[in-house]
Amino acid sequence: MAILTVHRFPDPVLKQRAKPVTTFDKTLKKLSDDMLETMYLEGGIGLAAVQVADLRRLVVMDLKNGEEKNGKPAPHEPRVLVNPEILQAKGEIVTEEGCLSVTDFRAEVKRAERVEVAYQTLTGESKREWMEEIGAVCIQHEIDHLNGKLFIDHLPLLKREMVKKRLIKMQRADQEALRDDVRIAKRGEPQRKAKA
């Protein structure tokens, strides 16, 4: 398995729509394995292929990631959903969401509390199931990625624009700090200490 690069806002790949999977082969299985490994490393509970710059309609999830049981990490419960789509949505729930592609920011987002999802397995078998609460929120969030949408796109317009500007400014500051560290390293000087 390999760790993949999770693309961060404002990378344009995040605005692209994924295409349906039509070939169910070893490369699809490898992609899902790599995505799960990457998601676990990043500490997320869901990851869409678009976030790793692969434009196939593929989502991995593990709602137990990060949970503890008896003081130990809970066993993994990985899920792979190919070509997922929401057939029905019921109720409303407001939860605080974060995203592996939108670092250092969380916001309350309103979504359906229960959703019926149709999807395929890695072998192409068709399935349908109802998901609720955090499972429903997660699959809606990941399907948004497959459609070129981020959770911040659900925010009111004024707040969304303020957040996007702040995130871009933070990204530029991080890039400038990295360039400074590279220049210092090339000169052989000690690197700056990280801010606490």
In a shared domain, residues 74 and 99: yes
Tell whether 19 is covered by a domain: yes
Q: Where are the beta strands (DSSP E) in the chain?
A: 46-48, 58-61, 68-69, 72-73, 79-90, 93-99, 102-111, 114-120, 126-132
- Within-domain flag for 6: no
**Cα 187 to Cα 172: distance, rounded to the nearest angstrom:** 23
Of 155, 172, 188, the residue at which a domain comes to its end is 155
Average pLDDT, the chain: 91
- Rounded alpha-carbon distances, angstroms, from residue 176 to 2, 8, 192: 28, 16, 13
Whether 121 and 68 share a structural domain = yes
Residue 9 three-state SS: coil
Kindly state the tokens that stand for 41: 């490393």
Whose tokens are 């490898």? That residue is: 30
35 and 115 fall within a common domain: yes
Question: Does residue 166 sit in the same domain as residue 145?
Answer: no
Domain count, the chain: 2
Question: Is residue 193 domain-resident?
Answer: yes
pLDDT at residue 57 greater than cutoff 90: yes
Q: Could you tell me if residue 2 is inside a domain? A: no
**Residues whose CB is less than 8 angstroms from the CB of residue 63 and which lie 6 or more positions away in sequence, other chains included:** 45, 77, 134, 135, 138
- Reply yes or no on whether the pLDDT at 182 is more than 80: no
- Per-residue pLDDT averaged across 62-85, rounded? 93
Q: In the chain, helix, strand, coil percent, each to 5?
A: 35, 30, 35
Q: Say if residue 93 is in the same domain as residue 189.
A: no
**pLDDT at residue 135, rounded to an integer:** 98
For residue 91, give the CATH number of its domain.
3.90.45.10
- Closest to 93 measured CA to CA, from 106, 112, 108: 112
How does residue 189 score in pLDDT terms, banded at 50, 70 and 90?
A: low
Structural domain range at position 165 = 156-196
The reply to whether 163 and 137 lie within a common domain is: no
- Quick one: 126 and 188 in the same domain? no
Distance between CA 109 and CA 164 in Å, rounded?
16
Question: Which parts of 13-133 fold into alpha helices (H)?
Answer: 26-42
7 part of a folded domain? no
Output the six-digit token pair for 163.
């957040």
Segment among 39-48, 106-115, 162-171 with least mean pLDDT: 162-171
Asked if 151 and 161 sit in the same domain, the reply is no
Quick one: 123 and 180 in the same domain?
no
Flag whether pLDDT at 147 surpasses 90: yes
- Which pLDDT score, from 0 to 100, does residue 47 have? 98
| Residues recognised as catalytic | 142
Higher pLDDT: 191 or 166? It is: 166
By C-alpha distance, which of 81, 79, 48 is closest to 65? 79
| Same domain flag for 135 and 169 | no
Checking if the pLDDT of 29 tops 70, the result is yes
Confidence band, pLDDT 50/70/90 cuts, at residue 111:
very high
Q: Which residue has the higher pLDDT, 104 or 22?
A: 22
In the predicted structure, residue 181 carries a pLDDT above the cut 90: no
* pLDDT interval class at 195 (50, 70, 90): very low
- pLDDT-derived band at 191, boundaries 50, 70, 90: low
Based on the domain organization, do 136 and 180 belong to the same domain? no
Does a structural domain hold residue 1?
A: no
Is residue 100 situated within a structural domain?
yes
Q: Does the pLDDT value for residue 31 go beyond 70? A: yes
The verdict on 58 and 77 lying in the same domain is yes
